[in-house]
Amino acid sequence: MRNKVIAVVVLAGAWMVAAPAARAQAAASTGSPTVTDQDIQLLRQDIRSKKKQMIAANLTLTDPEATKFWPIYDQYAAEMTQIGDQKYALIKEYAAGFGKLTDAEAKSLLNRSLALDEATVQLRIKYVPIVSQVLPGTKTATFFQIDRRLSALIDLQLASQIPLVQQQN
C-alpha cells in the first residue's frame, strides 16, 4: 500500500512539473499568454511542499529525531532551492535563445548545467555528515535515497519537456 501511495504522489508531482510546460507550449501555438514566473514560483513551492510530505511519510523518525532533523532539512531544502533558482534561470535563458543558439552559447549552457549538477552533488555531500549527527546511518541513507529519487523523477519530467538543442534548426 505504501508503494502505491508513493507512486501516486510522485506521478502527481511529475504531472505538476509537466503541466506548465504543456500549457506554455499550447499557449505558444494559440497565441495566448504563457506561463509566468509567478506561476512557476507557485508550482515550485508546491513541489517542495509535496517533496517534504513524501519524505515525512517515508522516513520513520522518533520525536527526538524529528525535532533535530526537520530544521536541518529546511536548511538543506533552502540551499537546494538556490540551485533550483539557477537551473530555472538557465532554462529560461535556453528558451529565450532557442532557435538562434550558436555553438558557443550551446556549449556555455551545457557547461553551466553540468556545474549545477555538480553543485547538487556537492550539497548532498555537505549534508551527509550534518544529517548523520542527528540520524542513524540507515535513516540518513534513507533520507538521501528518497531525496534523490524524487529529484530524479522531477528532473526527468522537466527534461522531457525541453526540446533538444539540435531541434532548433
- Grid coordinates of 10: 510522485
DSSP for 74-91 reads HHHHHHHHHHHHHHHHHH
Quote the percentage of the chain above a pLDDT of 70: 75
CB-CB neighbours of 135 under 10 Å = 21
Q: Which long-range contacts (CB under 8 A, 24 or more apart) does 132-135 make?
A: 134/65, 134/68, 134/69, 134/72, 135/61, 135/65, 135/68, 135/69
Widest pairwise Cα distance in the chain: 57
CB-CB neighbours of 55 under 10 Å = 19
Provide the pLDDT for residue 145: 96
- What span, in angstroms and rounded, lies between the C-alpha atoms of 51 and 55? 6
The answer, yes or no, to whether residue 24 has pLDDT greater than 80, is no
**Closest-CA residue to 18 (of 52, 51, 43, 53):** 43
69-91 tens-digit pLDDT: 999 999 999 999 999 999 989 98
pTM: 0.75
The answer, yes or no, to whether residue 2 has pLDDT greater than 70, is no
The answer, yes or no, to whether residue 35 has pLDDT greater than 80, is no
Provide the pLDDT for residue 95: 86
* pLDDT band at 99; cut points 50, 70, 90: confident
